[in-house]
């Protein structure tokens, strides 16, 4: 029998795709009486607030009819963000060369948390380089994984754009 998360994924993925977005992943979280369904969407040109609103409205309508979650729940729709979570081997393959923070379901070599560079993906396993040592981890053994954003590169790019804008502005005022 499929898990609640798989049922929700299979129900939500076509809705998101019909709105020209990709279902990046979802998290179905229950804590006592409180349930949260967190949906991450992505799109080639990025995700806007309008995209999130549109997807949220459509999913809410379908959830009201299908009623796959007992009781009340909170629906959250957002982009994966700069520290995007990774869920599938395809996600890891897209980010080969990037640094990732991950937590395993069960300890390995006496630890559950690792930070390293994604080297490659082999079938359902991801290879990460942690402190010069390559470690092969089954994707199913990973509880949570997120890309480590490169803030220094982002800040550098912003500075470049600012300088470009200033020089273009200066050129326009000199032309007048």
> If pLDDT is split at 50, 70 and 90, which confidence band does 8 have?
very high
Q: 47 with 111, same domain?
A: no
Residue 173, pLDDT score: 66
Domain annotation covers residue 174: no
- In this predicted model, what pLDDT tens digit does every residue of 19-48 receive, in sequence order? 999 999 999 998 888 899 999 999 999 999
Q: 23 with 64, same domain?
A: yes
Structural domain range at position 55: 4-78
- In this predicted model, what pLDDT tens digit does every residue of 80-93 receive, in sequence order? 999 999 999 999 99
Domain annotation covers residue 170: no
- In this predicted model, what pLDDT tens digit does every residue of 93-117 receive, in sequence order? 999 999 999 999 999 889 999 999 9
Residue 175, pLDDT score: 67
CATH number assigned to the domain comprising residue 43: 3.30.300.70
pLDDT at 162 over 90: no
Domain annotation covers residue 173: no
Q: 24 with 46, same domain?
A: yes
Q: Give the number of other Cβ atoms within 10 Å of residue 136's Cβ.
A: 11
**How many domains, the chain?**
2
pLDDT at 66 over 90: no
With tokens 């890891």, the residue in question is 92
Q: 124 with 60, same domain?
A: no
Q: In degrees rounded to 5, what are phi and psi of residue 171? A: -60, -40
pLDDT > 90 in the chain, percent = 67
Cα separations in angstroms, 133 against 11, 26, 64, 92, 124: 40, 31, 49, 18, 20
CB neighbours of 68 closer than 8 A, spacing ≥ 6?
A: 4, 7, 8, 11
Q: 94 with 74, same domain?
A: no
pLDDT at 166 over 90: no
> If pLDDT is split at 50, 70 and 90, which confidence band does 176 have?
low
């Amino acid at each position: 029998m499929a898990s609640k998360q798989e049922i929700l994924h299979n129900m939500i993925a076509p809705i998101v795709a019909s709105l020209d977005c990709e279902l990046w992943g979802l998290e179905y979280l229950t804590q006592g009486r409180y349930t949260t369904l967190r949906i991450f969407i992505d799109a080639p040109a990025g995700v806007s607030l309008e995209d999130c609103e549109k997807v949220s409205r459509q999913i809410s309508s379908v959830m009201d009819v299908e009623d796959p979650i007992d009781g009340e729940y909170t629906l959250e729709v957002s982009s994966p963000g700069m520290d995007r979570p990774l869920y599938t081997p395809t996600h890891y393959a897209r980010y080969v060369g990037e640094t990732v923070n991950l937590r395993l379901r069960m300890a390995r070599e006496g630890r559950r948390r690792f930070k390293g560079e994604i080297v490659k993906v082999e079938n359902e396993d991801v290879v990460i380089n942690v402190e010069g040592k390559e470690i092969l981890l089954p994707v199913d053994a990973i509880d949570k994984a997120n890309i480590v954003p490169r803030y220094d590169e982002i800040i550098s790019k912003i500075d470049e754009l600012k300088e470009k804008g200033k020089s273009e502005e200066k050129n326009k005022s000199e032309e007048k």
